[in-house]
Structure 1
């Protein structure tokens, strides 16, 4: 069987299923950074940053596509000077035909994204969003299907993302009734004859769909439906889906003293050193965590009951403020977000299993800090 040649567009589509671009902050620049949508791809490298040494690694390993957490391009380019570090990076990428795609604040906020990965790594339970940004908009889809094809259509729309409620999939409801239609001249009906009124036993299949998945669900529904013209309705819903946003707040299975919890964090994030504020002998249980730079959210962490707030890039006076309100802080640095490399690799390997795509993680260290 001939294998389908995948392109960057196919990879981007799966990345945006994990981390929809609408979740990105308006100041962010996510998606395609350098390259082309329709370029064939067979080898992908996941990295936290796109520095020149990372690009050199990609060239050496014959990588077609780099997927990064931190965007290569944050601001519009006014010039492309090949004497600058950024200019050299762009020149190497273009000369070697390497595409770069970034999934940043959208991957931070996404369910299953960076902050969930960090929370899972330290064993948090019952975690919820720290900084609420938005809830997924939901719609109700109702499609009318002949009884013989209801299972086929249900499976198609469920695989496309319809009918997911919490940890359950394939959530639908169907009721039976009679559909009528008259095929007119020029039609090629699945059931019935031209210019004759047909009465067919049908089912009304209803389900819930996240609005951003609707176009994909409809595409798969129409493809699986036997009728030349599928009849369906879409209803806007007032109820909201899962809340999306930055950071997570959860609980340890058992209380532990801060000193021991710090060691747990260091082990989970593979770090030799972290900065800490607070009483090291105090017992803690409720933990807030936000990857990257999260110092401005200390009050959200405190309001949501956190004993400890884990984040990066904490400045002196903000650390003092947290200390004064009784919130211990573990500054794990920005580089803790490297946890996304293995997670994205595993996600893509699962999506493109046996399809000729090799996914690797960058082994290049892009943390600028050394501890002496």
Structure 2
């Protein structure tokens, strides 16, 4: 398939108009190949991912996180972006980004996380202003309420991460909002839709205060929520395109965040306060 034709299909499925206006999506690197056969799907790029793509004879990488986000005036191989750009160009691998237009897809980031948790989305958290049937986030109405501890355990087990959360107003959770990635800007929307819990990432200290205990906000981490994106992207593109293109997902870990394990942070904080 020609690259231009593949881009047409992608943009029909993930319309650029549904992306945030300041997002950097679309074709970031073209190549000299007349036809595309092998496409490598990844959350984001690092050197290991590019090496894996090369070993898979990839003609194109489709990434969720943009490599070029802000405009660059020069390619400097001494920094991360310049080094990765150079490596892609040298190996004649094209790069295409589907980011917030994947988030807003009806089977996008938040929908996928709800599926992984065993929940069923009933609505978007926020409907897209430009296109009907698209929107950000997911609303879940559980048939049977789940207690807070079981919900936390379920999320932590799925995401393989410790959690940050606040105390909510209810011990039993019935309505849940999910916003994959950075979602502190959607707190008011979740409250307005009477959610008992919001699962999102990149919450700051004062964001937890701003909720005022009206609902529980659970932060598993940014990568941890979005790690399921390449698998979801592959499922959608396989169904849309079929056998004409071979889609594979990356296996190299790209999460730059490390955790020091097995500490009861709350008890340690309480012990410190008791010393004052």
TM-score in same-fold range (> 0.5): yes
Gaps of 5+ in 1: 1-5, 137-240
Aligned in 2, Cα 1:292/1:341: closer, same or farther, shift over 3 Å? same
User: Paired residue for 1:84?
Assistant: 79
1:53 aligns with 2:57: no
Deviation at 1:67, TM superposition (A): 0.5
User: Paired residue for 2:107?
Assistant: 112
1:248 aligns with 2:138: yes
User: Paired residue for 2:95?
Assistant: 100
Deviation per residue, 1:153-195 (Å, 9 max, x gap) = xxxxxxxxxxxxxxxxxxxxxxxxxxxxxxxxxxxxxxxxxxx
Deviation at 1:327, TM superposition (A): 1.3
User: Paired residue for 1:334?
Assistant: 222
Deviation at 1:274, TM superposition (A): 1.9
SS in 2 for 1:134: coil
1:370 aligns with 2:243: no
Higher Cα Rg, which structure: 1
Question: Could you say which structure has the higher helix fraction?
Answer: 2
From 250, 260, 267, give the equivalent of 2:150.
Answer: 260
1:26 aligns with 2:25: no
Question: 2: CA distance between counterparts of 1:318 and 1:126?
Answer: 25
Deviation per residue, 1:80-123 (Å, 9 max, x gap) = 11222211111110110001100111111121111221222223
From 8, 14, 18, give the equivalent of 1:13.
Answer: 8
SS in 2 for 1:81: coil
Aligned in 2, Cα 1:39/1:115: closer, same or farther, shift over 3 Å? farther
SS in 1 for 2:23: coil
TM-score by length of 1: 0.66
Question: Could you say which structure has the higher strand fraction?
Answer: 1
User: Paired residue for 1:123?
Assistant: 118
Question: 2: CA distance between counterparts of 1:48 and 1:326?
Answer: 33
SS in 2 for 1:254: strand
Question: 2: CA distance between counterparts of 1:129 and 1:314?
Answer: 20
Aligned residues: 259
Alignment of 1:312-331 (within 5 A): 312-322=201-211, 324-331=212-219
From 336, 340, 354, give the equivalent of 2:243.
Answer: 354
CA contact (8 A) 2:177 2:190 kept: yes
Alignment of 1:213-228 (within 5 A): none
From 37, 40, 61, give the equivalent of 2:35.
Answer: 40
Alpha-carbon RMSD = 1.9
SS in 2 for 1:272: coil
Deviation at 1:135, TM superposition (A): 5.2
TM-score by length of 2: 0.87
Deviation at 1:307, TM superposition (A): 0.5
Question: 1: CA distance between counterparts of 2:239 and 2:168?
Answer: 43
Deviation at 1:280, TM superposition (A): 10
Question: 1: CA distance between counterparts of 2:162 and 2:121?
Answer: 28
